[in-house]
Amino acid sequence: MEKMPKWADAVLVPLLSLLMAAILSAIVIFAIGEDPVAAFKLMVDGALMRSAGWGYTLYYATNFIFTGLAVSVAFHARLFNIGGEGQAMLGGLGVALVCLYIPWPHWTLAIIGASIGGAIFGAAWAFAPAYLQAKRGSHVVITTIMFNYIAYSVLNYLLVNVLIAKGSMDPATPKFPEATHLPTFRDMFSTADTILFRGSPANVSFFLALFACVFVWLLIWRTRLGYEIRAFGHSDTAANYAGISAVRITIVTMLISGALAGLMAVNTTQGEAERLILNPTEGAGFIGIAVALMGRNHPVGVFIAALLFGFLYQGGAELALWTNIPRELIVVIQALVILFTGALDNMVRMPLERLFLAFRRKEAR
Amino acid sequence: MQGGRVTERRATAAPAIELRGISKAFGPVQANKDISIRVMPGTIHGIIGENGAGKSTLMSILYGFYKADAGEIFINGQKTQIPDSQAAIRAGIGMVFQHFKLVQNFTVLENIILGAEDGGLLKPSLAKARKSLIALEKEYGLKVDPDALIEEIGVGKQQRVEILKALYRQAEILILDEPTGVLTPAEADQLFRILARLKAEGKTIILITHKLREIMEITDTVSVMRRGEMTATVKTSQTSPEELAELMVGRKVLLRVDKAPAKPGAEVLLVDDLRVTDEDGVERLKGISLKVRAGEILGVAGVAGNGQSELLEVLGGMRPATGQVSIKGESIDLTGKRSDGQSRRSRGIAHVPEDRQHEGLIMDFAAWENLIFGYHHDPEYQANRLLMDNSDVTQLAARKMERFDVRPPNPRLTAKSFSGGNQQKLVLAREIERNPDLLLVGQPTRGVDIGAIEFIHKQIIALRDAGKAILLVSVELDEIMSLSDRIAVMFDGRIMGERLPSQTDQTELGLLMAGIDPDTD
C-alpha cells in the first residue's frame, strides 16, 4: 500500500517545501531591513513579467535542464554524478572546436555538429570516473568532483596558452564564425511591429533541451537499456541474477550522463557567448543536482524545477541590480530552496504521510 | 507449577498473561481485531498463523512497541499498562526477536548487560553480571562462553545470548518470534530442550511460528490467528496438524505432496568436478559432480552455508567457477562473457533464486516489469528495434498472474506490495512460463504461507511431469523429502551422499548434513 497518493508526492511535497523556503527567505530579507513583499514582486517582475525577463529565465532554465537530466539519468543507476560542472566545461571545449575549425554553411548544421562535439567531449570526461567506478570501485562521487577541478585547469591552460585569440588579453577563444551563431528568441519570435525578448540570451537550444527531456523519458522508461539501468539502480544483486553487466551499465550510464551535461555548452558557448570563455558553466552543473532532486529524476519534474531555478537566477540578478539586498543573500535564498526541496525533503514528507494515513483511517471507519 | 499442566480451576492461579479485546489498525488495515487470550504460568503457548495474520503485531503490543487502539493487558492478574519496552521488562516480559539485536564486536557478557548496567562504571557491573550469568547458565543449562565475541559464535549460540539477556533482566515470560528460522534441525532441537527446561523452572513461554511441526512438538496450548483475528485456542494434545492448517488458512489444506512416481528420461544436466573459490579465497565448492535427468527432481539438502547457494549461483550464471557443466550434452561456459544469467536463459536454464527480494525481483518494479526480468531482451517483448512493448507486456503479465493465482492480479502494483507467497508466485510464473529444460529452484517456500506452499509445490511437480529436469535446493528437510525423486546431501562444499527418499529418513539425512556418513561407521 502506498503511504500517500502519487499527486501529493509529486506536487504537494515540493510546493510545501518551496513555501517554507520562501517564508524563511522572507524572514531573512526582513531581518536585514528590506521589504520581502517588494523584493518578491521585483523578482517576479524582472523574471516573468517582461519577455526579456523570460528570455533570461529560459536561458538559465535550458542549462539546468541539461545538467538536471544528466544527474537524473545517472541517478537511475544509483550513480551520483557530481561532475556535471566539469563535463559541461569539456562540452564547451568540444563545441568550440567544432565551431572554430569546421566551416559550417548554416547554423542548422552547426548546431548538430556542435551537439555531437559537446556530447562526445562531455561523455569522454565522464568516462574515466565511470571506468574507475566500474572496474576498481573508486567512488564516482569522489572522482567526478576531482575531475571538475581537472576540467577547470585543463580549460584554463588551453584558453591561456593555446586557444586564445591572437593579440587578445582575454583568456577566451576568438568569436565563432557568423554561420554558427544560433538564432535567439528575439530573432525567432519578434514581428515587424513588436520586438520580443530584447537583449536576452535565450536561443534555439531551449528546444534542444526539450528534445533531450523527451529523449531521456524514452530512454529510461521505454528502452531495454533504460530498463536495465533502473534494474541495476534498484538492486545490483538482482541485476547480477538477471545477467545485467554492472560494468557495462555503469559505464554506459555515465557516458549518457556526461553527454547530457556536455550538451549544455550548445546553449552557453555556441548560443550565448559565441566563443569559449573561462568558467563557462557558472555553477550550473551543481544546480543540476538540486534540479534532479526536486524533479524526482523525472524529465517533467526536471523541466519544472529547471524553470523554477531559472526564475531564481534571473529574479536574483534583478534584486542585486535594483535593491540593497547583497548578491550573497540571493545565494542564500537559492540555497534555502535547495535545502528545503532536496535535503530536508523528509521534513515535509513524513508529517504529510502521517496526515494522509490518519485521513484514510477515518474514512475506513 | 507441576509439569506445566493447565489447571482447570481458574481461581487457583491467575494467567501469566491475559489479553482482553486487543485491537490495532494501521491505516485501513486491521492488524488485530478484538483479540483475547489467556496464557497460564509455566506453560508453552504457541501462536501460529500465516504471514501477515497479525502475530507479530500482537507481540509488539505486548512488548510496548505499539499501542493498542483498544483492549487491556493483565500480567499475573494485575492490569498493566505497557507504553514502552522498558515497562515490558519491568513487568517481567522478555523478547527474543527473529533478527537478533546484538552488537557484533562486543563479547557475550557486554551484550548481556548492555542497557542494564548499574552505575557509571563498567567494571563492577561486568563482574556482577559475570556471577549472575554463570548462575543462570547453570540453572537453565544454557552454555555460552561469556568472553566470546558475538561475531565469532554461531547463530544458535547467539540466540542463547538473547535468551540469557532476557533472563538476566528477570524475565518470567519469554516471547520467541520465529526462533527456528535461522537454525539447523540440530540447533532447533537444542533450543526446544532449553525451552522445556525453562518451562520446568516455571517460566512462561510464548512461541510464535508458522511451522506446524514445532507447535505439535513443544507447546501445551496453541492459538491460531487468521487475518488479524484469533480463530481458535486449543490444547495441543487435542488437535492435529491438519486441523491447525485448516484453521490457519480457512480451508482444507493438503499437507502431503501428491505425486506420481517419476519417469526419468535423458540426462539434462551433467556437472563434473565443479569448484568455486569466493572473494575471500575460501573454497566453497570442492569438486561437485551430479546429474539431473528429464522428468525428475533432484533435491539438494544441507545446512545453509555448505555450498548449496554457490551451486545454484554457478548454474544460474551469477558467479564464475571451474569444472565441467553441460546441458543436454553441450557444455556451457563457467567464466567469461558467455557465463552470465542471460546466456544461461538462452540455453534453457530457468532459475528461481534463493533470495527473491534481492535477486529474483526488483521490489520497486511493477509486477509486469518483474515478469520479464532477465528475459527483457526477448523479441516477444519489443515493440520495434528501439522500444519495448510495455502495454503488450502488461497484458501478458496479467494473464500469467491469473494462471499462477497471484493475488491481487494487478500487474501495475510494485513487487513489494505483494505478500511473500505471491512474490514467489511471480518469480515462478516468470521462470516456468518460459518452458525451460532445467529449472533451478532455491528455497521455494521460504517465508511463504501454507496456502501458497501447496500451490508452489504443485507447480514444481507439474513441471517435472511435463518432462523437465529440476534441481531443488532447500534447507527444509520436509520439503526435500516430499518433493525429491533423489536426494543429494551437501556438507562443506562436497556431496556427502545420495539417497532415495523412500529408502532414507530424517535421521540419516541429518547425519549426512552434519558431515557424518552413517554407512562408513
pLDDT at residue A3, as a whole number? 64
Assess whether pLDDT exceeds 50 at residue B2. Answer: no
Q: How far from the centroid of its chain's Cα atoms is residue A9's Cα?
A: 22
Nearest neighbour of A224 by CB, restricted to B353, B363, B376: B376
A 10 A CB-CB count for A349 gives: 18
For residue B470, give every residue at least 6 positions away whose Cβ sits within 8 Å of its Cβ, in sequence order, or none.
B292, B296, B297, B298, B438, B439, B441, B460, B463, B464
Residues on chain B touching A235 (C-beta within 8 angstroms): 358-359, 362-363
Using pLDDT thresholds of 50, 70 and 90, give the confidence band for residue B237.
very high
A 10 A CB-CB count for B91 gives: 21
Q: Which domains does chain B have, with CATH numbers?
A: 10-92+172-249 (3.40.50.300), 103-163 (no CATH), 267-520 (3.40.50.300)
Q: Using H for helix, E for strand and C for coil, what is the string for B200-226?
A: HCCCEEEEEECCHHHHHHHCCEEEEEE
Residue-wise pLDDT for B148-181, tens only, equals 998 888 778 888 899 999 989 889 999 998 888 7
Say if residues B220 and B24 touch (Cβ distance below 8 Å). no
Residue-wise pLDDT for A310-329, tens only, equals 998 899 888 888 888 887 87
Which of B337, B357, B387 to probe by mutation at the A interface, max A CB count within 10 Å?
A: B387
Q: Helices A84-101 and A284-294 sit at what angle, rounded to 10 degrees? A: 120
Q: How many residues does chain B have?
A: 521
Cβ of A360 and B27 within 8 Å?
Answer: yes
Nearest neighbour of A237 by CB, restricted to B340, B359, B374: B359
What sign does the CA torsion over A58, A60, A63, A68 have?
negative
Mean pLDDT for the stretch of residues B332-344 = 94
Say if residues B203 and B173 touch (Cβ distance below 8 Å). yes
Q: φ, ψ for residue B248 (rounded to 5)? A: -70, -45
Residue B389 in contact with partner chain A when CB distance is under 8 A: no
ipTM comes to 0.88
Q: What is the H or E stretch that residue B138 is in?
A: helix B122-140
Averaged pLDDT of chain B: 89
Distance (Å, rounded) from C-alpha A21 to C-alpha A27?
A: 10
Cβ of A238 and B341 within 8 Å?
Answer: no
Residues on chain B touching A364 (C-beta within 8 angstroms): 25, 27-28
Using pLDDT thresholds of 50, 70 and 90, give the confidence band for residue A144.
very high
Q: What is the H or E stretch that residue B73 is in?
A: strand B70-75
Mean pLDDT for the stretch of residues B408-436 = 92
Least confident piece of the model among A127-131, A288-292, B449-453? B449-453
Mean pLDDT for the stretch of residues B21-44 = 88
Using pLDDT thresholds of 50, 70 and 90, give the confidence band for residue B6.
very low
Residues on chain A touching B415 (C-beta within 8 angstroms): none
Which of B359, B363, B368, B371 to probe by mutation at the A interface, max A CB count within 10 Å?
A: B359
Strand duo B330-331 + B494-499: pairing: unpaired
pLDDT at residue B252, as a whole number? 77
Which of A76, A78, A220, A241 to probe by mutation at the B interface, max B CB count within 10 Å?
A: A241
Using pLDDT thresholds of 50, 70 and 90, give the confidence band for residue B7.
very low
Q: How far is A240 from chain B (nearest CA, A)?
A: 6
Using pLDDT thresholds of 50, 70 and 90, give the confidence band for residue B438.
very high
Assess whether pLDDT exceeds 50 at residue B117. Answer: yes
Q: Helices A205-222 and A51-76 sit at what angle, rounded to 10 degrees? A: 30
Residue B391 in contact with partner chain A when CB distance is under 8 A: no
The grid coordinates listed for A124 are 569522454
pLDDT at residue B124, as a whole number? 82
Distance (Å, rounded) from C-alpha A273 to C-alpha A211?
A: 22
Residues on chain A touching B28 (C-beta within 8 angstroms): 1, 360-361, 363-364
Mean pLDDT for the stretch of residues A109-129 = 98
Distance (Å, rounded) from C-alpha A16 to C-alpha A352?
A: 10
Residues on chain A touching B341 (C-beta within 8 angstroms): 240-244
pLDDT at residue B73, as a whole number? 93
| Nearest residue to A57 (alpha-carbon basis) of A322, A351, A315 | A315
Cα–Cα distances in angstroms (integers) from residue B196 to residues A69, A163, A281, B190, B220, in the given order: 62, 85, 73, 10, 11
Q: How far is A194 from chain B (nearest CA, A)?
A: 44
Cβ of A243 and B376 within 8 Å?
Answer: no
Residues on chain A touching B360 (C-beta within 8 angstroms): 238, 241
Residue B316 in contact with partner chain A when CB distance is under 8 A: yes
Query: B64 — alpha (psi -120 to 50), left (phi > 0) or beta?
Result: left
Q: How far is A1 from chain B (nearest CA, A)?
A: 6
At A67, which amino acid appears? T
| Nearest residue to B377 (alpha-carbon basis) of B413, B349, B407, B341 | B341
Averaged pLDDT of chain A: 91
Residue-wise pLDDT for B394-418, tens only, equals 999 999 999 999 988 999 999 988 8
pLDDT at residue A2, as a whole number? 55
Distance (Å, rounded) from C-alpha B420 to C-alpha B391?
A: 26
Residues on chain A touching B343 (C-beta within 8 angstroms): 243
Cβ of B25 and A243 within 8 Å?
Answer: no
A 10 A CB-CB count for B58 gives: 28
Q: How far is A114 from chain B (nearest CA, A)?
A: 25
Q: Where are the alpha helices (DSSP H) in chain A?
A: 6-7, 13-31, 36-44, 51-76, 84-101, 107-131, 140-157, 185-189, 205-222, 224-234, 236-242, 246-265, 284-294, 299-322, 327-338, 345-364
- Cα angle: B500, vertex B506, B511; to 5 degrees: 95
Q: How far is A248 from chain B (nearest CA, A)?
A: 12
Mean pLDDT for the stretch of residues A176-187 = 94
Residue-wise pLDDT for A244-286, tens only, equals 999 999 999 999 999 999 999 999 999 999 999 999 998 899 9
Nearest neighbour of B362 by CB, restricted to A221, A235, A240: A235
Residue B341 in contact with partner chain A when CB distance is under 8 A: yes
Between residues B305 and A62, which one has the greater pLDDT?
A62
Mean pLDDT for the stretch of residues B209-235 = 89
pLDDT at residue B12, as a whole number? 56
Mean pLDDT for the stretch of residues B128-140 = 86
Strand duo B297-301 + B469-473: pairing: parallel
Mean pLDDT for the stretch of residues B463-475 = 95
Cβ of B318 and A241 within 8 Å?
Answer: yes
Instruction: Using only the alpha carbons of chain A, give its radius of gyration.
Output: 22
Percent of chain B with pLDDT over 70: 96
Edge-to-edge strand list for the sheet holding B29-39? B29-39, B17-26, B70-75, B78-79
pLDDT at residue A132, as a whole number? 97
Nearest neighbour of B342 by CB, restricted to A2, A222, A243: A243
Distance (Å, rounded) from C-alpha A80 to C-alpha A89?
A: 18
Assess whether pLDDT exceeds 50 at residue B471. Answer: yes
Cβ of B376 and A227 within 8 Å?
Answer: yes
Which residues pair with residue B499 across a beta bridge?
B487
Q: Count H helices and E strands in chain B, helices first.
A: 16, 20
Using pLDDT thresholds of 50, 70 and 90, give the confidence band for residue B132.
confident
Please give the residue of chain A at the shortest CA–CA distance from B337.
Answer: A245
pLDDT at residue B5, as a whole number? 44
Maximal C-alpha separation, chain B: 79
Mean pLDDT for the stretch of residues A123-152 = 96
Cβ of A242 and B374 within 8 Å?
Answer: yes
Cβ of B386 and A223 within 8 Å?
Answer: yes
pLDDT at residue B338, as a whole number? 92
Cβ of B362 and A357 within 8 Å?
Answer: no
Cβ of B359 and A222 within 8 Å?
Answer: no
Residues on chain A touching B317 (C-beta within 8 angstroms): 243
Residue-wise pLDDT for B378-398, tens only, equals 999 999 989 999 999 999 999
Q: What is the H or E stretch that residue B490 is in?
A: strand B486-491
Say if residues B125 and B113 touch (Cβ distance below 8 Å). yes
Distance (Å, rounded) from C-alpha B53 to C-alpha B227?
A: 5
Q: Which of residues 126-155 of B touch A (CB under 8 A)?
A: none
Q: Which of residues 60-89 of B touch A (CB under 8 A)?
A: none
Assess whether pLDDT exceeds 80 at residue B28. Answer: no
Mean pLDDT for the stretch of residues B53-70 = 88
Distance (Å, rounded) from C-alpha A77 to C-alpha B284?
A: 31
Please give the residue of chain A at the shortest CA–CA distance from B24.
Answer: A361
Least confident piece of the model among A11-15, A136-140, A182-186, B370-374? A11-15
Mean pLDDT for the stretch of residues B124-129 = 84
Using pLDDT thresholds of 50, 70 and 90, give the confidence band for residue B1.
very low
Assess whether pLDDT exceeds 90 at residue A99. Answer: yes
Burial of B391 (0-12, 13-18, 19+ CB in 10 A): exposed
pLDDT at residue A5, as a whole number? 77
Mean pLDDT for the stretch of residues B12-16 = 80
Assess whether pLDDT exceeds 60 at residue B520. Answer: yes
Least confident piece of the model among A68-77, A141-150, B104-113? B104-113
